[in-house]
Structure 1
Amino acid sequence: MPQLPHPTAESLRRDPLPLRGRTALVTGASRRGGIGYAVARRLAAYGASVYLHHHVPHDAAMPWGADRPENVIAAVREACADPEARVVEGPGDLSDPKAPAELIASAAEALGGRIDILVANHALSGSDGTLDAIDAAMLDAHWAVDTRSVLLLVQAYARLRAALPPRTPGGRVVMMTSGQDIAGGMPGEIAYALQKGALASITRSLSTTLAENAITVNTVNPGPVDTDYMTGDAYATIAAMFPGGRWGMPDDPARLITWLATDEAEWVTGQVIDSEGGFRR
């Protein structure tokens, strides 16, 4: 069917539930202070069924501590706008090379056999340092979680989508990076910056690979976001580097990521998008 040069007046009227009937897997949605949780809530509010992945032992070992999965999923369900949509959760240690494919299979089964939207939000915190401090174990740990698992998730997701009719609409992949390519870089987190940089670099290649299956691939850099990991004078110093005088909040990148999941963003692919609120390094 030929594409019209301009949409009809009726099609311009915004659907309040643009993701009704779509399904999404959000990784790293393990606590209510995080970006993954905010993304899951937005997707649910737009009508999508959502599978929340979590790995509680990781957060339990961090200064911010772990949340209870039942509390996270209950809060996402409160935002769910479509009474027929499902919100489910499940664990997964993505440092295990078998875990990404198993997670895709589990999420697809829970969501009715299909995943439309993959948001790879998870990452390893800690176990890092400067160039002089890092070692092979640190590099390997970040590679396994921050990069290898994301690519294996995309691989398993693409294979699942390949079983659908050709060019089934709604295919979306969103990966996360951290501004390591912007002025100043991340000299204190070399392992993390290296592996996140790999995701930014592979974005274009993945988008070209998956374009024939009507899947868009984009990567979002959310900038500094208040996810409960910093307090005191350091927190105030970072806040002053934003023109608005505040940190980014988890819902700031969540709004962009959710828009990328809608049909309005079907012409945006292969991009690394900085959503930093004018942050000045």
Structure 2
Amino acid sequence: MPRLPHPTPEQLRRDPLPLRGRTALVTGASRRGGIGFAVARRLAAYGASVYLHHHVPHDDAMPWGGDRPESVAAAVREVRGDPDAEVVHGPGDLSDPAAPAQLIETAAEALGGRLDILVANHALSGDDGPLHEIDSTILDRHWAIDTRSVILLVQAYARHRAGLPERARGGRVMMMTSGQDIGGGMPHEVAYALQKGALASATRTLATALGEQLVTVNTVNPGPVDTDYLTGEVYDRIASMFPAGRWGMPDDPARLIAWLATDEAEWITGNVIDSEGGFQR
């Protein structure tokens, strides 16, 4: 195979809409304070058409409360870089084993029949507890939502890409983990840490499985991010553990994920990437 030439000057000039014509599904994009919303905004700003998945009952049960999906979608549309790009939204309970494949099909159909980018951002929130408190029900719930649904989403996405008429460039999968393998781990969230660790461990395997389809697979650890779930003394103490003296904001990991979706990142696959701002545990 001949060596590829250096990029031309025109190729080196950054396209302000590097995702123009691409389509993306972002799961767990149900509230404006979350990472999923920030990712969707970045993808839309880069020119992509975006499908926002939400499961409002989950957020309604959390201390921060739910958001209106129409308002979330409207806020994403405000930053749309390409006037031809679509921003749509829809529900899905990913604890149902049939839901991931249905979601991929629904999102692809809503975005013109093709899905290029999958960002599996959703997770079951809440302190599941230390080792002596968890039980099989807690373990199974986290497995079903945090891990099984992600693998089934990737499976359905791979089948969708295989059905396209040609080997299309630009296929991207991004999963989310939580730094459970760094420092002292997550001893107070054992079930959550186990399932996120499974995704990190599966990253290279999935990247190899999708490599022939020219799809990259990477997992991002965003570190502690201010998604409106903590205040007071604990919040300030954690902020002091960052060299910048502040928490990560949702747009911090969103910038990395959006870049991984572009052609500039086509040579990066099978990696777990920490985006923690130098956080010192």
Q: Normalising by structure 1, what TM-score?
A: 0.99
Q: Which ranges of 4 or more aligned residues in structure 1 deviate by more than 4 Å?
A: none
Q: Render the CA deviation track for 1:175-234: whole Å, top value 9, x for unaligned.
A: 000000001100000000000000000000000010000000000000000000110000
Q: 8 Å contact 1:123–1:145 — kept in the other structure?
A: yes
Amino acid corresponding to residue 188 of structure 1 in structure 2: H
Q: Secondary structure at the match of 2:229?
A: coil
Distance between the aligned counterparts of 1:96 and 1:10, measured in 2? 47
Q: Does 1:14 align with 2:25?
A: no
Q: 8 Å contact 1:49–1:87 — kept in the other structure?
A: yes
Q: What is the match of residue 231 of structure 2? A: 231
Q: Does 1:57 align with 2:66?
A: no
Amino acid corresponding to residue 240 of structure 1 in structure 2: S
Q: 8 Å contact 1:166–1:213 — kept in the other structure?
A: no
Deviation at 1:127, TM superposition (A): 5.9
Structure 1, unmatched stretches of 5+, are none
Distance between the aligned counterparts of 1:263 and 1:126, measured in 2? 36
Give the share of equivalent positions with the same residue, in percent.
80
Q: Render the CA deviation track for 1:132-187: whole Å, top value 9, x for unaligned.
A: 00000000000000000000000000000001244310100000000000011000
Q: What is the match of residue 243 of structure 2? A: 243
Amino acid corresponding to residue 168 of structure 2 in structure 1: T
Q: Render the CA deviation track for 1:222-257: whole Å, top value 9, x for unaligned.
A: 000000011000000100000000000000000000
**More deviation in 259-268 or 2-11?**
2-11
Q: Does 1:279 align with 2:243?
A: no
Deviation at 1:3, TM superposition (A): 4.9
Distance between the aligned counterparts of 1:108 and 1:167, measured in 2? 17
Q: 8 Å contact 1:171–1:214 — kept in the other structure?
A: yes
**More deviation in 82-91 or 165-174?**
165-174
Q: What is the match of residue 97 of structure 2? A: 97
Amino acid corresponding to residue 266 of structure 2 in structure 1: E
Q: How many residues align?
A: 281
Structure 2, unmatched stretches of 5+, are none
Alignment of 1:158-237 (within 5 A): 158-237=158-237
Distance between the aligned counterparts of 2:167 and 2:255, measured in 1? 26
Q: Normalising by structure 2, what TM-score?
A: 0.99
Q: Does 1:29 align with 2:42?
A: no
The structure-2 alpha-carbon separation of the partners of 1:104 and 1:253, relative to structure 1 and needing over 3 Å to count, comes to: same
